[in-house]
Structure 1
Amino acid sequence: MVLDDIEYSSVFEPQTTEEQVDTVYGKVYCTIAGLSKPNRPVILTYHDIGMNHKMCFESFFKHEDMHEIARHFPVLHVNAPGQHECAVTLATEYTYPSMDQLSETLPIVLNHFGFTSVIGLGVGAGANILARFALNYPDLVEGLVLININASAEGIVGSVTSKITGWTQTVTETVISHLFGKKEIETNYDVITTFRHDIMTYMNESNVTQFLRCYSSRTALELKRPVPGANLNGRTLKCSSLLIVGDDSPSLEVVVDCNAKLDPTRTTLLKMADCGGLPQVDQPAKLTEALKYFVQGLGYMPSACMTRLSRSRTASTSSVMSTDSSRGHAHTDEHQRGHSSTHKYKEQRGRSNTDLSMDGVSTTHTESKPVFC
């Protein structure tokens, strides 16, 4: 049953609890915001390397447009072992889990808290972990929102590059180059400086190095796109999936490649214009609108308030994503964007933001789902 908005007060402050869950692969630090609701999935988030749930998602969930979603669903933030804020160094005898093993901790976490299904929201390495979880436990996953997902293994060239980078760069700079594209690093001084400071201040470098090695050693998801009319029981995501990437993200090509390997009747690709490696920080209002439509497609929040995308939706049945047509629509001054993103990310970043243009967002889809534009 969908709860009406009148059941909530105008000031929304979800109850938050923190707990460490013991798993066969180590302790998993979790934060729950909100209360469990009957017949509702929990929104489960998983962060990228060099980050924890606060750095990756806190400003996004504090954004005023996200309050409506957070009222309807409990949110479970999961941190990889040793990645939570100010974590102590992992014991020398501890063997850091593989990506598959990290995904195997999620059923244990859900069972611990009594959740029976999830809507996953992951970024980078977290998106990869959630995809593995959905492949192995399809009955537990109602939908996935995957930002900057890379479904491939690192490959020989990438592996060699990573080793050379490890010799010449600090862990922090390696993480920065993973999270942000070259254009962002060169122009968005404020946001890059803020993230560099927070990685060095709040993250345990030794633990981050172990998670980074885990991600760099990942195996491919080995996805196989179903062929219409063929008896192909290939490995693919069974749930509705929304793939998201910024047009200045270093992950743009790998996300497009992942989309090509998934079931087109269940998958939507959203490329966000005027956006870099972290859409949830760069364009939280746009991402929230996309998330609302996605959740509605799963059968929840039918009366959700749409404020931005509803003004600029178009009907499109194209199955080919444009990589150029959207780039000239809504670009803002680079310095201004970086300054704004920094303030959204900082501790007092929950303040109301001005209305953002929805121009220049392109999607790829082949089914009758909402089109984000």
Structure 2
Amino acid sequence: MTDIDVQPPVAVIGKHCTYNVYVQGNLEERHGKTVIVTVHDVGTNHKSFIRFVNHPSMADVKQKAIFLHVCIPGQEEHAPDFTGDFPTLAQIGEDLVCALDKFDIRTCIAFGEGAGANIICRFALASPNRIMGIILVHCTSTTAGIIEYCREKVINIQLENGVMTSGAWDYLAAHKFASSDKKEREAYLAELKNTLNPKNLSKYLFSFTYLAELKNTLNPKNLSKYLFSFSKRTDFSTVIGAKLDNMDALLVTGAKAPHIHTVYTTHKSMNKKKTTLLVVDNVSDVMAEAPDNLARSLILLCKGCGVLSGVAIPGMERQRTLSRPTTTCCTINSTIQKCRKLCSIKILNKTKKCS
């Protein structure tokens, strides 16, 4: 991964917090390109999205879009200790509109993973007129379940004081890989060897060094604050359907993801005519393990929103560009059907409404 095309961070001051935005692309072309705002998961930072955008499958999108990578306060590499009250997920979501205002951007596609997807949902709930569509990877719209709650209750005693205990690190590993047990992760990789191309296995070996890398790069006190904020998330599953009734949405999850049940809950609450749910087989971390699949899904969502119409879908023949937007939208269902075989995904809802 290279950051050569990523500009230095720009501080955005919101009502509740100040956060850094890393712009990937030329802002002078913002009125002629699609703007995509990204928010990362707990245990990562903006670089997880830079890595994804720099993947070969995103090359055409990268040429046609500008990315605003939001870094949650204090999550930069080797960041100083965060001082003051750490914002809630809802407060961060409400403050994301300030980034659009600062960079003079009217509307965007909003893209989040994990805790970041939760924040993106709250952004959409607070400022629906500024968002064309949302991409939610491993999104949770409910509070922690009873098992998760009991585990978090013990961990939170230390997290609230800015301490990452061994239990907190294990919880973070489970959040990422569905298990904190090394033997289970070894078994997971062994299974991958039997189901996936061995040449691609290097992509998944990061699971062994994930926690070690975090401990060496992220400020543990700041990480604990983001993790604590995520653990104290509130439920918005009962309101998301009505408030985002007219917004195109893509929900993505790995079949082995730890929070897959909450993704189903989120999907159940949303307008099925405007929402697509994609489950990627045999993976836990979609962004790292199946970037090609995610790139195809992202492009389809954007085409449904009327943007990135000239971008080809990786692995598919280039679609002939049509002059009538409504006709282009109507071709998306057949495109998804073709994409199904190439992506090795389950499509639980594939309805796209013409705009």
Q: TM-score, normalised by structure 1?
A: 0.76
Query: Could you say what secondary structure the match of 1:358 adopts?
Result: helix
Alignment-derived partner of residue 187 in structure 1: 188
2:274 is the counterpart of 1:284: no
Deviation at 1:13, TM superposition (A): 6.6
Q: Which residue is equivalent to 2:51?
A: 59
Distance 1:193 1:296, change over 3 A: same
Cα deviation digits, residues 41-86 of structure 1 (max 9, x gap): 41000001111011x2232111112121111111000011111121
5 Å matches for 1:85-164? Answer: 85-91=77-83, 94-164=84-154
Preserved CA contact (<8 Å) 1:135 1:238 = no
Does structure 1 residue 251 correspond to structure 2 residue 259? Answer: yes
Pick from 161, 172, 175 the counterpart of residue 175 of structure 1: 172
Following TM superposition, by how much is the alpha carbon of 1:366 offset from its aligned partner in structure 2, in angstroms?
A: 5.6
Q: Does 1:76 align with 2:77?
A: no
Match of residue 353 from structure 1: none
Q: What CA distance in whole angstroms lies between the structure 2 residues aligned with 1:145 and 1:302?
A: 17
| C-alpha distance 194-238 of structure 1, shift in aligned 2 (>3 A) | farther
C-alpha distance in structure 1 between counterparts of 2:317 and 2:346, whole Å = 15
- 2:11 counterpart of 1:20: yes
Contact residue 17 and residue 33 of structure 1 kept, 8 A? no
Is 1:361 paired with 2:345? Answer: yes
Cα separation, 2, equivalents of 1:121 and 1:273: 21
One-letter amino acid matched to 1:70 = K
For the residue of structure 1 that corresponds to 2:283, the secondary structure is coil
Q: Provide the rounded CA distance (Å) in 2 between the counterparts of 1:314 and 1:118.
A: 23
Q: Equivalents in 2 of 1:186, 1:194: separation in Å?
A: 16
Aligned partner of residue 74 in structure 1, secondary structure = strand
Once the two structures are superposed, residues 289-310 of structure 1 have per-residue CA deviations (whole angstroms, 9 ceiling, x without a partner) of 1111111111122232223256
Give identity over the alignment, percent.
24
2:236 to 221, 237, 254: 221
Q: Give the C-alpha shift of residue 256 in structure 1.
A: 1.1
Query: Quick one: distance in 1 between partners of 2:96 and 2:216?
Result: 28
Distance 1:250 1:15, change over 3 A: closer
Q: Which residue of 1 aligns with 2:225?
A: 210
* Alpha-carbon contact 1:317-1:365 (below 8 Å) kept: no
Aligned to 2:211: 196
Alpha-carbon offset, residue 177 of structure 1: 1.1
Q: From the superposition, tell whether residues 133 and 225 of structure 1 become closer, same or farther in structure 2 (CA, over 3 Å).
A: closer
Alignment deviations for residues 236-285 of structure 1 (CA, whole Å, 9 cap, x no partner):
45310000001111121111111011000110000011221x21110111
Q: Structure 1 residues 70 and 316, CA, compared in 2 at 3 Å: closer, same or farther? A: closer
1:38 aligned to which of 31, 34, 41: 31
Deviation, 1:224, is 4.7
Shifted more, 160-169 versus 117-126: the winner is 160-169
Structure-2 residue corresponding to 1:351: none
Please give the alpha-carbon distance, in whole angstroms, between the structure 2 residues aligned to 1:185 and 1:43.
Answer: 35
More helix by share: 2
User: Please, which runs of 5 or more residues in structure 2 have no aligned partner?
Assistant: 159-164, 190-203, 319-331
- Residue type at the aligned position of 2:68: L
- Would the alpha carbon gap of residues 147 and 15 (structure 1) be closer, same or farther in structure 2, given more than 3 Å must change? closer
In structure 1, the residue matched to 2:246 is 238
Tell whether 2:20 aligns with 1:29: yes
- Paired residue secondary structure (1:214): helix
Cα distance change of structure 1 residues 154 and 75 upon mapping to structure 2, 3 Å threshold: same
2:281 is the counterpart of 1:293: no
Q: What letter corresponds to residue 52 of structure 1 in structure 2?
A: N
Number of corresponding residues: 310
State the one-letter code of the partner of 1:109: A
Normalising by structure 2, report the TM-score: 0.79
Note closer, same or farther for the CA distance 1:225–1:196 as it changes in structure 2 (3 Å cut).
Answer: closer
Range moving further from structure 2, 260-269 or 37-46: 37-46
1:308 aligns with 315
What is the CA-CA distance between 1:173 and the residue it aligns to? 2.4
Shifted more, 281-290 versus 14-23: the winner is 14-23
Q: Counterpart amino acid of 2:310?
A: S
SS in structure 2 of the partner of residue 139 of structure 1: helix
> Match of 1:333?
none
SS in 1 for 2:50: helix
- Distance in 2 (CA, whole Å) between partners of 1:31 and 1:220 is 29
Alignment check: 8 A CA contact 2:278 2:348 kept: yes
- Give the letter for the 1:297 counterpart: G
- CA distance in structure 2 between the partners assigned to 1:225 and 1:89 by the alignment: 34
Contact 1:131 1:237 in 2 (8 A): no
Show the counterpart of 1:261: 269
* Offset at residue 164 of structure 1 (A): 3.4
Instruction: Give the superposed CA RMSD.
Output: 2.9
